[in-house]
Structure 1
Amino acid sequence: MRLVQNAKTLSYIERRKHFRPSHPLLSLSPPSSQAQSGDALRHSHCCEFPVRLTPKRSEAIVQMGKASRDKRDIYYRKAKEEGWRARSAFKLLQIDEEFNIFEGVKHVVDLCAAPGSWSQVLSRKLYLPAKLAPEKKDESLPLIVAIDLQPMAPIEGVIQVQGDITNARTAEVVIRHFDGCKADLVVCDGAPDVTGLHDMDEFVQSQLILAGLTIVTHVLKEGGKFIAKIFRGKDTSLLYCQLKLFFPVVTFAKPKSSRNSSIEAFAVCENYSPPEGFNPKDLHLLLEKVGSPSGIEDTDCCSGWLEGPNKVYIPFLACGDLSGYDSDRSYPLPKVAGGNYQSLDPVQPPIAPPYKRALELKKASNQGIRELENLSLDS
C-alpha cells in the first residue's frame, strides 16, 4: 500500500513539473489515496513519461531562449555588445541626436537611475571626453549625480545618491555635491511596474513625473532642460499643460529604439522658466489649477477646462535614424565561425533588485519539490 502511494506521489510531482497543464495525462488535483487494482496501476505506469533533463541539455535550452530574445530585440542585443547596462541607453542617445541636450552641460542629475544605463550615457558623453581631452586639463570636470532607491554598480564619473526623489532633503544633497550650483540638465527614465491596465499605468507614471518635477524645481537652474519618460493616454494634454507652466518649449518624443506597440514616450522640456514669484512648496497648488474651470489661463496651452481630444495640440516627434534598426522587427543572429551563436550575458545585473525576494521564494519552493521527490524515491 505504501509503495503504491509513493509511486502515485512521485508520478504526480513529475507530471506537474514537466508537462503543460493541457497535457491529457496531467491532473491538477492529486490522485486519490485509495488503492488501485494491479491492472489500473500497470496502465498508469505505461502512460507516464517522466522527463529528466541533463545539465548540458538544460544549458542548451537556456541558450536557445537567450538567442531567441537576441533575435527578436535588436537593441537588447546591441546594448550587450556595446557595453550598455540596458537597451534604454539608445533612447537617450537618440533624443540627444534630435535635441542636442548635452550641449554646454556641466551639472546633470539622473533620477530613478538604476540599473544605470542613462548614467552610462552621461558618463561617456560628458565626463569621459572632458577627462581625456588634454586642452581641458585645467577645467573642472562635469558632475553627474544619480539618484535611486535601489543601489547600483559604480560608474566612472557618477556620484550615487540612494534616496527618495520626493524628499526635499534629496535635493539638498544634490546641491551640496554641486557646491551650491544648480543643474543644467535633469533626466528621468523611471517607470512603475506596469499592470497592463493602461489608465492605471498612465496615472501612476504621471505621478512619478510630478515627483520628478518637484525635485526639478529645487535643483534645475533657469534655462535648464528636463527629460522624462511618459505614458501616452487620455490625460496627456493635462500633463503637457502642467509642464508648460515651467518650460516654454515642451515636445513629446518617441525614440526609434522604443517599440511602436509601447505607450511610452519622452517629454523633452527646454528653457526652465518658473512663474514669477514661484515657491517650490506651492507646486501642487499651482498644478491643481491647471485644467480646472477657474484655473490658470494660458493661451499657448489651454484656457479653462480641458475637454475633448483637440483642446490642445501637442508637438510629437519621432527621433533617431528612421532608416536604422526597427525595434519591432526581428533580425538574424550573426554567424559564428566553428560553432553556434553564443548569447552574451547582461553587462551588469542589478545589485539588489526589488524582485530579489520573489526569486528567493521561488528557489526555496523548487528546493522543497526536489526534497519531496528524494523522499518519495527513498521510501
Structure 2
Amino acid sequence: MGKSSKDKRDLYYRRAKEEGWRARSAFKLLQLNEQFQLFKDVKRVVDLCAAPGSWSQVLSRELYQTQKNSHDEAKIVAVDLQPMTPIDGVTTLQADITHPKTLVKIMDIFGGEPADFVCSDGAPDVTGLHDLDEYLQAQLILSALQLTTCLLKPGGTFVAKIFRGRDIDLLYAQLSYLFDKVVCAKPRSSRGTSLEAFIVCIGYKPREGWTPKLELNKSAEEFFEGANIGRSDNLKFFELPDPEERVIANFIACGDLSDVDSDATYTLDASESRVVLDPVQMPTSPPYKLALEMKRRGDLVRR
C-alpha cells in the first residue's frame, strides 16, 4: 500500500489500514462475495498470484471465523512467486503457477481432493500501453485458467482480474465453454478510471473427452488443444465450434452505491487527532532488489 498523499486521502486505503487488511483490494473480493456468495459451501480454496495477501486474509476470515470451519475442515493455499508473510490458516507456496510441481503440491495439501474455489487478483506491471497491458493480462488469466482446470471440481467457481479492452469478448467466449455462467463484475472499490474488472465464472463444466494436463514449455494454445473452445492465434480466422454454446458475459457493478467513491480523495481534517499505524505486512523482496542494491553501491554503470 502506497504512502502518497493521494493514497492517504483514499478512504478505501485508510479503511484497509484501520481494519488490518494488507491492501485495499480486500474490499474488491468482499464486494464480489456480497454479490455472488462466492464462499458458500466452500472448503478448499486456491488464491493465485496472492502477494501481498489481502485476498488470502479475506478467505481466512470468511472460512475460519465467519463459517467457523476448523483448519482440518477447510484448506486455503496461496501461491505467488514473491514471498508472503504468514496468514492464519493459509498455506503459502512460493512457486510458479504454470509449473506442474505446483499442481502436485496443492493436491497434496488438499489430500487429493479438488478445489471448490480458485481466484486470482494478479496483474503484470502496467506499462500504460493499453493494448499491451490487456494482452499480458489475458495471458496471465490463461495461465491461471490452466491450473484451475486441473484443480477445480465440476460446479466450482473461478474469479480473476481482467483488463477490459477491444478483444475481451474473445476471452468471455472461451470461458463460456468451460463454465455455466460468466459475468464481468466491477466492484465499487475498483476505481472507475481503471480498465480493471473481474471475471466471475460459476459452475465449472469439464469439456467432454478432454483431460487437462500441465506440462513444462507448453503454451496455452497447446494446453487447450482438444478442449474445443476455439483458437485465439488469429482473430481474423477465429472460429467457435458451436455458436449456440457461446455466451456473452453480462456486466454487473457490485458494492453498495451509497459507499465512498473509489476515484475520489477525501481531505484530512487537520483538527482530528490521527494515529500512525504500523505496516500490516513488512515489504517483500521485489525481483529487482539485487539491481537496486547494485545501483546504490555504484556497480551499475554505463559501459
Q: Same fold (TM over 0.5)?
A: yes
1:121 is the counterpart of 2:58? yes
User: Which amino acid in structure 2 is aligned with residue 122 of structure 1?
Assistant: L
1:356 maps to which of 286, 289, 293: 289
| CA offset digits 1:110-160 (Å, max 9, x no partner) | 000111010000001112345xx4xx67x9431000111111000000001
Distance 1:270 1:283 in 2: 21
Q: CA deviation at 1:74?
A: 1.6
1:187 maps to which of 112, 119, 139: 119
Q: What does 1:16-35 correspond to in 2, within 5 Å?
A: none
Q: Is residue 32–residue 187 contact of structure 2 (8 Å, CA) maintained in 1?
A: yes
Instruction: Give unmatched runs, 5+ long, in structure 1.
Output: 1-64, 303-312, 366-379
Q: CA deviation at 1:66?
A: 4.5
User: Which amino acid in structure 1 is aligned with residue 49 of structure 2?
Assistant: C
Match of 1:220 in 2: 152
| Structure whose CA Rg is larger | 1
Q: CA deviation at 1:106?
A: 0.3
Q: CA deviation at 1:336?
A: 5.6
Match of 1:326 in 2: 261
Distance 1:127 1:140 in 2: 10
Match of 1:296 in 2: 241
Q: CA deviation at 1:108?
A: 0.1
Q: Is residue 67–residue 343 contact of structure 1 (8 Å, CA) maintained in 2?
A: no
Match of 2:100 in 1: 168
Tell me the percent identity.
53
1:178 maps to which of 110, 126, 136: 110
| CA offset digits 1:191-240 (Å, max 9, x no partner) | 00010000000000000000001001111000000000000001100000
User: Which amino acid in structure 1 is aligned with residue 34 of structure 2?
Assistant: E
Higher helix share: 1
| CA offset digits 1:170-210 (Å, max 9, x no partner) | 11111110011010000000100010000000000000000
RMSD over aligned CA atoms reads 2.3
Higher strand share: 2
| CA offset digits 1:273-318 (Å, max 9, x no partner) | 011111214643245536645541232427xxxxxxxxxx430010
Q: Is residue 95–residue 253 contact of structure 1 (8 Å, CA) maintained in 2?
A: yes
1:76 is the counterpart of 2:18? no
Gap change, CA 1:277 and 1:66, over 3 Å in 2: same
Q: CA deviation at 1:343?
A: 4.7
Q: Is residue 230–residue 238 contact of structure 2 (8 Å, CA) maintained in 1?
A: no
Distance 2:295 2:15 in 1: 31
Q: Is residue 66–residue 343 contact of structure 1 (8 Å, CA) maintained in 2?
A: no
Distance 1:359 1:349 in 2: 18
Q: CA deviation at 1:248?
A: 1.5
Match of 1:110 in 2: 47
1:97 maps to which of 34, 38, 51: 34
Q: What SS does the corresponding residue of 1:233 show, helix, strand or coil?
A: coil
1:314 maps to which of 238, 249, 253: 249
Distance 1:295 1:125 in 2: 39
Q: Is residue 42–residue 117 contact of structure 2 (8 Å, CA) maintained in 1?
A: yes
Q: Is residue 113–residue 147 contact of structure 1 (8 Å, CA) maintained in 2?
A: yes
Aligned residues between the structures: 284
| CA offset digits 1:57-97 (Å, max 9, x no partner) | xxxxxxxx6455311x2211111111000111010000001
Match of 1:347 in 2: 280
User: Which amino acid in structure 2 is aligned with residue 298 of structure 1?
Assistant: P
User: Which amino acid in structure 2 is aligned with residue 346 of structure 1?
Assistant: P
TM-score (norm 2): 0.86
Instruction: Give unmatched runs, 5+ long, in structure 2.
Output: 214-221, 299-303
